[in-house]
A and B are shown apart, each in its own frame.
Chain A
Amino acid sequence: MICSDAFKATADAMADVQGAPGYGYLTTPHPVAGLTPEQVRERAESVADQVARLLSE
């Protein structure tokens, strides 16, 4: 899972209520809504290695 860093508190709380405290997820800088398609691609590339690492843990 990836969420923008503004929602970290909510993500942590969701992990707790779902019975998975400390669940591993990635963050990307907020905001995301106004990005152009090109900027979204850049964001995706910037976290690709971390995604691969998280999935293989």
Chain B
Amino acid sequence: MTTEPDPDVAREAIEYCYEQGWTDGLPVVPASQALLDQFLAHTNRDPDEVLWRMDHLGRECTVHTAAINAAMAGCLPEYFPVVLAAWDAVMRDRAAKGGGWQSTSGPAPLIVINGPIRGELGINCTGGIFAGGFRPNATIPRALGLMLRNAFGVIPHVFDQTTQGIPGRWAICFGENEEESPWEPLATEMGLEPNTNAVSTTLTRTYEFVDNRHTQDPEQLLNDFGDTISRTGVMIFRAQSAGIVFCPEHAQMLAGAGYSKADVKDWLIEHCGRVEADLRRAGKDAVSEGGFGARSASEEERVPGDVFTPFLPSRESVPIIVAGARNAAISMVFRVFGEWSNSSVEIETVPVAAVKGG
């Protein structure tokens, strides 16, 4: 006869983790050596391999430390290769290497998964991709948050200098809805072989929905996206990066009208931006191309009010993903914090037989 777990014993272990300062506010799974061994059996990487070192803080995160935090985050051991790939992918971002994790804007990693592993792990790709309810979607990004906290010591109010942050900072992870996308998967677009298990990750600042069930004209639909992308509040520099997580309906409508992913990017590059008079009204008419220029232009610096400034410099600054359900024509614009690396990282899984034998 099996006995049920003792909730009081479990709670005692959870409270112990709170007392150590290991949690992000929610309970963590107490990680035993046996559980840790299961996580490490799912990777061929050396437990002592340093994933990243933050020299200025004198802290580093090894594969071993990552496994502890993934376990505490509530991941299953088989998610661990995805956690490792997600970390490697986000650390390709220049901003993540350059102190972005401690930024006053409190950016969130956006984690997008491609390949058959989505089905194998039960990663949600359809209804409610931003809405929770699925274990891998919830725990894989949380693992990254706990790594930041526990391995690097990036803790709110101290080394984490976030002013407000964004809702669900450590909860943005989903699979691309490859089955209902009219376009090639993101990882394939980034140069990996079709059907490769892969993760693409970048730091993001915010998410804004575009609800357009109102038109069948692709140009009108793109204008609706363009209006959201072109708002002045998000501007720090003139050149910026905004992506779209298209719902299948919007993506299929555009594809049906003959738009490839590249065509959509090109349309947005051409049309997204503001005239100088709009920027002046928001006090952002002297926002520089790069570096810090956050002030309004002086009289002498001003240029004519009808001069148009495009915001998106290249296709690389407009990542496009297809995910969510066909329930309604609702998509999401997201803001990249800095620049996405425009690359995907292959997920290195260990064959099941090898895991069992390990």
Contacts and interface: CB of A to CB of B under 8 A. Distances in A.
Contacts of A13: 158-159
Given A17-B57, A17-B58, A9 B295 contact: no
A56 interface: no
A33 interface: yes
Contacts of A34: 294-295
Contacts of B58: 17-18
B158 A33 contact: no
The range of chain A's interface size is 10 to 19
SS class of chain B's interface: helix, strand, loop or mixed? loop
Contacts, number: 22
Interface residues of B, number: 13
B157 interface: yes
Contact of B158 (A9, A18, A35, A36): A9
Nearest to B298: A36
B141 to A, nearest CB: 24
A10 B294 contact: no
Interface in A1-30: 7, 9-10, 13-14, 17-18
A9 B157 contact: yes
A18 B58 CA distance: 8
B161 interface: yes
Nearest to B283: A34
A18 B161 CA distance: 18
A3 B352 CA distance: 53
Contacts of A7: 161
A13 B159 CA distance: 7
Contacts of B57: 17
Contacts of A17: 57-59, 153
Interface string B23-60: 00000000000000000000000000000000011110
Name which of B102, B153, B295 has the most chain A CB atoms within 10 A of its CB: B295
Contacts of B292: 33
A10 B295 contact: no
Contacts of B295: 34-36
A32 B45 CA distance: 45
Contacts of B158: 9-10, 13
Contacts of B157: 9
Interface of B: 56-59, 102, 153, 157-159, 161, 292, 294-295
Given A9-B158, A17-B58, A17-B59, 16 more contacts: A7-B161, A9-B157, A10-B102, A10-B158, A10-B159, A10-B161, A13-B158, A14-B56, A14-B159, A17-B57, A17-B153, A18-B58, A33-B292, A34-B295, A35-B295, A36-B295
10 contacts: A9-B158, A10-B159, A10-B161, A14-B56, A17-B57, A17-B58, A18-B58, A33-B292, A34-B294, A34-B295
